[in-house]
Amino acid sequence: MLSDWSRRSTQAHKVPQAALLQHVSVALVDEGVQGIVAGLAANGFVDGKTILIRKFNAEGDITVGNAIAREMVTGDYDLLLTASTISLQTVANANRGGKKVQVFGITSDPPGAGVGISRENPLDHPPNLVGVGSFLPVAELFALAREMYPQLHTVGVAWNPAETNSVAKSSSS
């Protein structure tokens, strides 16, 4: 009679399952993912105890990211988490029907990502999609660089026109 106790107790008290996708391993995104997990834990969702978080990493490969996004949307996950603009776009596109709730972060320009978030009214967005944009204070960063290095005349910036965050403008500019 007790041989299926763990299955019965799991069904009665199902632990929520989340899938988390990051597009690439770089310090900024890795630390952001750690922050997401820590923030969940600080609010009572401790990985392995009160929530199960399966982490995915496309390692910079769009094809792999698309396959992971499809798995996340069709899998038995209660919540989809994305860390980066590309991960936001990939999962939102796979989840166009709004089958799952998606929470995004580490995204510089959510309205520019083309996933249905209004720039004029951020509350106008798909009902299953929510998150926080983190646009960098570019002008302030250049001012700080000039203050730290007054001889600064030329700056090189990595730019990828395929990524919306490379061409984004802040709402205050």
- pLDDT greater than 70 at residue 125: yes
pLDDT at 17: 97
pTM greater than the 0.95 cutoff: no
Query: If pLDDT is split at 50, 70 and 90, which confidence band does 4 have?
Result: low
Looking at per-residue pLDDT, the higher value among 164 and 157 belongs to 157
Residue 5, Ramachandran bin (φ over 0: left; ψ between -120 and 50: alpha; else beta): alpha
Query: If pLDDT is split at 50, 70 and 90, which confidence band does 153 have?
Result: confident
Rounded Cα distance between 132 and 8, Å, is 38
Decide: residue 57, CB within 10 A, 0-12 exposed, 13-18 middle, 19+ buried.
Answer: buried
10 Å Cβ neighbour count for 137? 11
Q: What is the 3-state secondary structure (H, E, C) of 105-125?
A: EEECCHHHHCCCCCCCCCCCC
14-136: which CATH topology?
Answer: Rossmann fold (3.40.50)
pLDDT at 31: 96
Cβ contact 88:81 at 8 Å: no
Angle at CA 20, nearest 5°, toward 16 and 22? Answer: 175
Q: What are phi and psi of 113, to 5 degrees?
A: -75, -15
pLDDT at 170: 55
Query: If pLDDT is split at 50, 70 and 90, which confidence band does 169 have?
Result: low
